[in-house]
């Protein structure tokens, strides 16, 4: 792949940089609710200026940008250290899934409010006994006239406590083979039959939830991709989750590494700085190499998307590598801090604790390794 930007790509990047420089949103306030409101307002501002969902078709509020421009957007937004968007799952996964498999009516109904963060989305895939083996899920949807009644339990449902819509995969045909009996629904979260109970994480935040469904109602028109096609639609969602995030994540790693080097230069022990310790230097150099491999891998994944039009299994490799680099980076930060790390409470301790989830969220490392082995390298499946 040619890594130099064309004149129009450079112009796109410069316009975005200029907009970001002129629209500094300031510091994010403390507290779950205040922080979320701040991220929602930030996303609204980007959407109003045409900087949300840049690669979505213009007919649905996007900018019709190319995939390279989308990648530039992901890089620049992280480079500017802008706040996260509030509707991260709607933007990265829900919207692209509706664009790929939704009806015209669904595209017009759902995509605009995703961009403006007016309607927040969550992802109801995982269940207490179905995480990696998603196709074994038990949440049941049964048809009653022109609507469906859904009963079951989901877990780890990020943002369910803020969400209006849930990308819900449920079993509609218990007699069909497990991958074939699933349907992909858009569930309205604003009904009594849906209860979200926040789960508190090791970081102290409650980012995700248990989700209890007791005869929740979904009209027929909220099926995406047709009855019984839920597995195929869910795969689209998961591929987008892994592929499109790669660009931002690799820049985030580069920034974190730069901050860690500065931290090592500032931290003194035994008459020298941590940056003068040969073992720390070795680990920093190794991280630098891995961060660069991550960057080049993200470009390689992009080349694949440009060839085929859809994210492929290569995204799994980037997500797996990123989780390892990010965990190694935050572990080194803890080692540099030394015994002070035990007290915690600073930004690095937060990042260290949050990074533990990196090798689970969006597919565990073991599962991603299997995907890379079988679908990227073409190795035989284990019996
Ligand atoms: C921060 C965070 C946010 C999340 N947000 C969401 C969300 O919004 N929506 C949602 O639906 N889910 C979400 N998840 C759930 C996530 O996708 C699952 O945790 C993940 O898919 C693993 O499922 P599980 O936890 O049930 O583990 P299990 O599938 O029970 O796995 C347990 C262990 O066994 C290993 N294992 C399982 N099967 C195999 C195999 N075939 N080969 C080798 N090893 C195997 C796994 O790697 C893991 O180490 C989130 C998770 C986290 C941590």
**Is pLDDT at 292 greater than 90 in this prediction?**
yes
- Which residue, by CA, sits nearest to atom 53 of ligand 1? 361
Beta-bridge partner residues of 152: 213
Closest atom of ligand 1 to CA, residue 357: 53
Q: How far is the CA of 128 from the centre of ligand 1 (A)?
A: 10
**Is pLDDT at 309 greater than 80 in this prediction?**
no
Of the candidate ranges 1-5, 76-80, 217-221, the one whose mean pLDDT is the lowest: 1-5
- For the question of residue 127 being annotated catalytic, the response is no
Q: How far apart are CA 71 and CA 248, in angstroms?
A: 8
Q: Which of 92, 120, 126 to probe ligand 1 with, by most ligand atoms within 8 A of CB?
A: 126
Of 119, 127, 207, 241, the active-site residue reads 241
Q: Phi first, then psi: give them for residue 254, nearest 5 degrees.
A: -60, -40
Q: How far apart are CA 321 and CA 292, in angstroms?
A: 11
DSSP string, 323-335: HHHHHHHHHHHHH
- In this prediction, residues 1-7 reach a mean pLDDT of 78
What are 124-140's pLDDT values in tens digits?
999 999 999 999 999 99
Asked if residues 207 and 245 have their Cβ atoms less than 8 Å apart, the reply is: no
Using alpha carbons, list the distances in angstroms from residue 296 to 179, 206, 247: 34, 34, 10
What are 192-234's pLDDT values in tens digits?
999 999 999 999 888 899 999 999 999 999 999 999 999 999 9
Higher pLDDT, 67 or 231: 231
Q: How far is the CA of 357 from the centre of ligand 1 (A)?
A: 10
What value does the mean pLDDT of the chain take?
93
Q: Phi first, then psi: give them for residue 208, nearest 5 degrees.
A: -125, 180
Angle of CA points 319, 320, 322, to nearest 5°: 65
Asked if residues 140 and 150 have their Cβ atoms less than 8 Å apart, the reply is: yes
* Amino acid 270: pLDDT: 86
- In this prediction, residues 132-157 reach a mean pLDDT of 97
Q: Give the long-range contacts of residues 253-257, CB within 8 A, separation 24 or more.
A: 253/291, 253/294, 253/322, 253/325, 253/326, 253/329, 254/291, 254/295, 255/78, 255/79, 255/81, 256/326, 256/329, 256/330, 256/351, 257/284, 257/287, 257/288, 257/291, 257/329
Higher pLDDT, 316 or 13: 13
Q: Which of 132, 198, 359 to probe ligand 1 with, by most ligand atoms within 8 A of CB?
A: 132
- In this prediction, residues 30-44 reach a mean pLDDT of 94
Dihedral (Cα; 44, 49, 50, 54), 10-degree rounding? -70
* Amino acid 149: pLDDT: 98
- Which residue, by CA, sits nearest to atom 27 of ligand 1? 131
- Which residue, by CA, sits nearest to atom 26 of ligand 1? 131
Above pLDDT 70, what percent of the chain?
Answer: 98
What are 253-284's pLDDT values in tens digits?
999 999 999 999 999 988 999 999 999 999 99
Q: Phi first, then psi: give them for residue 303, nearest 5 degrees.
A: -60, -40
Of the candidate ranges 48-57, 109-118, 341-350, 354-363, the one whose mean pLDDT is the lowest: 341-350
Asked if residues 55 and 67 have their Cβ atoms less than 8 Å apart, the reply is: yes
Nearest to 74 by CA among 61, 55, 60: 55
Residues with CB under 6 A from ligand 1: 122-126, 131-132, 156-158, 208, 357, 360-361, 363-364, 366-367, 370
* Amino acid 2: pLDDT: 64
Q: How far is the CA of 59 from the centre of ligand 1 (A)?
A: 36
Q: How far apart are CA 87 and CA 84, in angstroms?
A: 9
Closest atom of ligand 1 to CA, residue 362: 17
DSSP 189: S
Closest atom of ligand 1 to CA, residue 365: 47
- In this prediction, residues 5-10 reach a mean pLDDT of 92
Q: How far is the CA of 238 from the centre of ligand 1 (A)?
A: 13
Above pLDDT 90, what percent of the chain?
Answer: 78
Cβ partners under 8 Å of residue 94, min gap 6: 110, 114, 121, 123, 165, 167, 237
Using alpha carbons, list the distances in angstroms from residue 154 to 158, 160, 168, 291: 11, 10, 9, 35
- Which residue, by CA, sits nearest to atom 7 of ligand 1? 157
* Amino acid 262: pLDDT: 96
Confidence of residue 249 (pLDDT cuts 50, 70, 90): confident
Q: How far is the CA of 104 from the centre of ligand 1 (A)?
A: 33
Q: How far apart are CA 104 and CA 224, in angstroms?
A: 11
């Amino acid at each position: 792949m040619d890594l130099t930007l064309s004149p129009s790509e450079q112009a796109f990047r410069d316009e975005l940089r200029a907009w970001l420089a002129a629209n500094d949103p300031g510091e994010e306030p403390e507290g779950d609710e205040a922080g979320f409101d701040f991220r929602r307002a930030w996303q609204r501002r980007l959407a109003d200026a045409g900087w949300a969902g840049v690669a979505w078709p213009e007919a649905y509020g996007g900018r019709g940008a190319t995939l390279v421009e989308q990648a530039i957007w992901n890089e620049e937004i992280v480079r500017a250290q802008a706040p996260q968007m509030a509707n991260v799952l709607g933007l990265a996964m829900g919207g692209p899934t509706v664009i790929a498999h939704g009806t015209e009516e669904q595209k017009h109904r759902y995509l605009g409010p995703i961009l403006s963060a007016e309607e927040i989305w969550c992802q109801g895939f995982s269940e207490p006994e179905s995480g990696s083996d998603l196709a074994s899920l038990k949440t049941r949807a049964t048809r009653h006239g022109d609507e469906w009644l859904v009963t079951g339990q989901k877990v780890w449902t990020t943002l369910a406590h803020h969400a209006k819509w849930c990308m819900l995969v449920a079993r509609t045909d218990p007699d069909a083979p497990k991958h074939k009996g699933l349907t992909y629904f858009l569930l309205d979260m604003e009904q009594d039959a849906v209860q979200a109970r926040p789960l508190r994480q090791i970081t102290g935040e409650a980012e995700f939830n248990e989700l209890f469904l007791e005869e929740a109602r979904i009209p027929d028109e909220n099926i995406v991709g047709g009855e019984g096609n839920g597995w195929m639609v869910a795969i689209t969602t998961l591929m987008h989750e892994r592929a499109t995030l790669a660009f931002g994540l690799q820049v985030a790693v580069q920034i974190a590494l730069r901050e860690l080097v500065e931290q090592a230069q500032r931290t003194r022990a035994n008459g020298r700085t941590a940056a003068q310790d040969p073992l720390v230097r070795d680990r920093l150099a190794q991280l630098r190499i891995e961060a660069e491999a991550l960057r080049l891998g993200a470009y390689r994944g992009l080349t694949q998307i440009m060839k085929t039009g859809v994210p492929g299994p290569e995204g799994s490799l980037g997500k797996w590598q990123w989780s390892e680099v990010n965990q190694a980076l935050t572990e080194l930060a803890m080692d540099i801090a030394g015994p002070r790390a035990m007290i915690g409470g600073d930004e690095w301790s937060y990042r260290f604790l949050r990074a533990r989830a990196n090798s689970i969220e969006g597919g565990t490392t073991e599962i991603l390794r299997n995907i890379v082995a079988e679908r990227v390298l073409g190795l035989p499946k284990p019996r």
